[in-house]
Amino acid sequence: MAILVNDKTKVLVQGITGKEGSKVALQMKNYGTKVLAGVTPGKGGQEVHGVPVYNTIAEALDSHPGINTSLISVPNFAVFGAMQEAIAAQIPLINVFTEHVPIADTAKAIAMAKKAGVRIVGPSSMGIISPGIGKVGQIGGEDPRGVFSKGNVGVISKSGGMSSEVSWILTKNGIGQSTVIGIGGDILEGSTFTDMMEEFEKDEQTKSVVIFGEIGGTYEEEAAEMIKSGRFTKKVVAFISGLFAESLPQGTKLGHAGAIVYGDKGSYKSKINSLTEAGVTIAKTPDEIPDLLTM
């Protein structure tokens, strides 16, 4: 029944009184997601789009003990404190929308989350959507209904924009999605391709998975190793952006913070070779993905 976001998802928005937090809270509510509370220190007692605001997560949980997901939309310097508070409260799923989070802060939070058994998706994550059920984050914007459709293909993307683009391509070709996840494109992320593939492997609704990768980092190579080892058994179609970067100087930064290549690891060639050796079907363009899924 999809992964991460389902009909039992109940959301807290950290930073709900900010411009982005307020906007995303309304988007989630309009899509049917249960948004129970918001937290902004010093602004407890207010309401945003009918959602009550509290000063702390502890106060929010006292009034809404069913909360099981937190969306973090606060300035980057405040993200670590927000993650730390959510982890301490044992909120099972934390989605970090904020960009430009210091990598040291992300590393510390990931270590804390693993110890606590908490899942972080992000930073720089556009969000998570299980079509027809609910969404967390800004994924799909104001109206995801024409882009996403319910089905049995899982989508994992480093790029928030391309998570929607790939889903739209699938939808217009009559192929629905189980869950679509923008994991974020930073060097270090709370959830990797392999983390999400583990969840999709267990999900009965998901029959195949699309990976949208980028140059930089080794998450795609790790996914290839997972498939080779037999820990992921469903069909995978992958598209890796960044072919043009093969001709650029080593160490060139491109777009996302994670799109930095040193040596062979993380390069377009390395990712394509690793995935191909693992038996993954490679799309040369996103428009090829629907046909490759049905082959």
Per-residue pLDDT of the chain (295 residues; tens, 9 = 90+): 899 999 999 999 999 999 999 999 999 999 999 999 999 999 999 999 999 999 999 999 999 999 999 999 999 999 999 999 999 999 999 999 999 999 999 999 999 999 999 999 999 999 999 999 999 999 999 999 999 999 999 999 999 999 999 999 999 999 999 999 999 999 899 999 999 999 999 999 999 999 999 988 899 999 999 999 999 999 999 999 865 444 445 555 545 545 555 556 678 899 999 999 999 999 999 999 999 999 8
* 29: its two tokens: 């509510």
- Cα 218 to Cα 222: distance, rounded to the nearest angstrom: 6
What was the pLDDT predicted at 290? 98
Strands (E), the chain: 10-14, 34-39, 47-48, 51-54, 69-72, 93-96, 119-121, 127-130, 134-137, 150-157, 177-182, 208-214, 235-241, 281-282
> Catalytic pick from 49, 64, 100, 256?
256
In the annotation, is 49 catalytic?
no
- Largest pairwise CA distance in the chain: 57
Residues 6+ apart with CB under 8 A from 143: 30
Integer angstrom CA distances of residue 3 from 81, 128, 179, 201, 232: 27, 9, 6, 10, 16
- Domains of the chain and CATH, by start: 10-294 (3.40.50.261)
Using alpha carbons only, give the angle 59, 61, 64 rounded to the nearest 5 degrees. Answer: 115
Q: Are 283 and 238 in contact (CB under 8 A)?
A: yes
- Tokens 């890796």 identify what position? 240
What was the pLDDT predicted at 267? 85
What secondary structure letter does DSSP report for 49? T
* 83: its two tokens: 């993650």
What was the pLDDT predicted at 51? 98
